[in-house]
């Protein structure tokens, strides 16, 4: 087995100035992921969010076999190119991780997984590519679809949903305190001219909620729309419920999240499915938990090091939680 030094691996991703090199996506928390998943030759892993292949590559470098999924065909093609040197130790499927079990069946893979990694959220390429419509700082179509299976676009949402529904999305998914005022402004403006581009929406939000600090006031609105368009929270819940059935005892489930809504879902799921006993006031004594699937590896989430955040500021909000299949 090759002993992969994570700092050396990260060094390959950096320019001499210590900045991220031009590439599809800089994987976050690679050192913690390696320590958590413990890849080795003969082990089988599912990377449910392959992105540019960064996390898959460190698992493959350790000698493991990887099944790499991504709903974004552009990301999957990039992963194929990056990981082509690993031969038949890596296989690919275009799939949302919510459909991971179906993807495994389609590939004819009946072995149990020794580990699973989900890196939730938007990739660097998706943010940086204006045509994808994720960035509020670059002019582009108001799209935000991570894959062709998305049920709608951001433009369709802001131009057709009732004002009250927009306010709910902004408040629940973006945790935006001025959700109603922003939804009202959008409804007023779209009546005369539908929204088509990212900057049109960002400017409308800023007019309803003026900037009060370094963060653009539309940041949470774009997050909320992205979550709605891609049903990100529903996909995460489905993946957590279904993937454990294909995991081997001792296999580890690692999930990286980037905001509190996702992290809360993972935290609650792992906690409820790792308790040995449950108790209720009407019972005379605690009883074994019939839903127990895991033992917790991380009672509290792991976070990126200050050095990683300095090298890659987009890692600053990442949280990693790990549970081990029993």
Q: Per-residue pLDDT tens, the chain, 326 aa: give them.
A: 334 444 444 433 333 333 333 455 688 999 999 999 999 999 999 999 998 899 999 999 999 999 999 999 988 999 999 999 999 999 999 999 999 999 999 999 999 999 999 999 776 667 667 778 788 878 899 999 988 878 899 999 999 999 999 999 999 999 999 999 999 999 999 999 999 999 999 999 999 998 888 889 999 999 999 999 999 999 999 999 999 999 999 999 999 999 999 999 999 999 999 999 999 999 999 999 999 999 999 999 999 999 999 999 889 999 999 999 99
* CA angle centred on 79, ends 77 and 80, rounded to 5°: 65
Whose CA is closest to 135, among 315, 314, 310? 314
pLDDT of residue 151: 83
User: For the chain, where are the alpha helices, taking DSSP H only?
Assistant: 6-12, 30-37, 54-61, 73-82, 100-106, 124-128, 154-160, 163-174, 179-190, 198-208, 219-230, 232-242, 260-272, 306-311
Helices 198-208/219-230 angle, 10° precision? 130
pLDDT of residue 24: 57
pLDDT of residue 25: 66
CA distance 199 to 80: 33
pTM for the model stands at 0.88
Annotated domain spans of the chain: 6-125+233-325, 151-230
Sign (positive or negative) of CA dihedral 293, 297, 300, 304: negative
Whose CA is closest to 314, among 147, 133, 123, 139? 123
- Identify the three-state secondary structure at position 119: strand
By the 8 A CB rule, do 237 and 265 touch?
A: yes
Same fold yes or no, 6-125+233-325 and 151-230: no
pLDDT of residue 147: 85
**Buried b / exposed e across 9-41, counting CB within 10 Å, b at 16+?**
bbeebeeeeeebeebbbbbbbbbbbbebbebee
CATH (one of 2.60.120.640, 3.40.228.10, 3.40.50.720, 1.10.150.170) for 151-230: 1.10.150.170
By the 8 A CB rule, do 225 and 168 touch?
A: no
Which CATH superfamily is 6-125+233-325 part of?
Vaccinia Virus protein VP39 (3.40.50.150)
pLDDT of residue 9: 40
68 forms beta bridges with 47, 92
């Amino acid at each position: 087995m090759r002993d992969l030094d994570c700092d050396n691996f990260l060094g390959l991703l950096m320019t001499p100035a210590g900045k991220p090199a031009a590439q599809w996506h800089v994987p976050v928390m690679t050192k913690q992921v390696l320590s958590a998943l413990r890849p080795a030759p003969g082990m089988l892993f599912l990377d449910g969010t392959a992105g540019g292949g960064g996390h898959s590559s460190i698992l493959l470098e350790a000698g493991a076999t990887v099944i790499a999924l991504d709903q974004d065909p552009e990301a999957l093609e990039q992963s194929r190119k990056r990981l082509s040197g690993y031969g038949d130790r890596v296989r690919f499927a275009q799939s949302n991780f919510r459909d991971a079990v179906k993807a495994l069946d389609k590939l004819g893979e009946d072995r149990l997984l020794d580990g699973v990694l989900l890196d939730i959220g938007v990739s660097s390429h998706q943010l940086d590519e204006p045509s994808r419509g994720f960035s509020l700082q670059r002019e582009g179509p108001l799209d935000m679809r991570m894959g062709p299976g998305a049920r709608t676009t951001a433009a369709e949402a802001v131009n057709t949903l009732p004002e009250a529904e927009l306010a709910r999305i902004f408040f629940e998914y973006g945790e935006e305190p001025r959700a109603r005022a922003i939804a009202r402004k959008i409804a007023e403006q779209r009546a005369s001219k539908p929204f088509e581009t990212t900057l049109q929406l960002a400017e409308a939000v800023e007019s309803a909620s003026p900037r009060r600090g370094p963060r653009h006031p539309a940041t949470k609105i774009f997050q909320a729309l992205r979550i709605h368009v891609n049903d990100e929270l529903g996909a995460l819940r489905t993946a957590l419920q279904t993937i454990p059935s294909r995991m081997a005892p001792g296999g580890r489930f690692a999930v990286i999240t980037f905001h509190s809504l996702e992290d809360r879902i993972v935290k609650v799921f792992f906690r409820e499915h790792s308790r040995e006993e449950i108790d209720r006031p009407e019972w005379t004594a605690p009883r074994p938990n019939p839903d127990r699937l895991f033992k917790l590896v991380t009672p509290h989430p792991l976070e990126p090091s200050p050095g990683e955040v300095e090298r890659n500021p987009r890692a600053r909000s990442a949280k990693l939680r790990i549970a081990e299949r029993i």
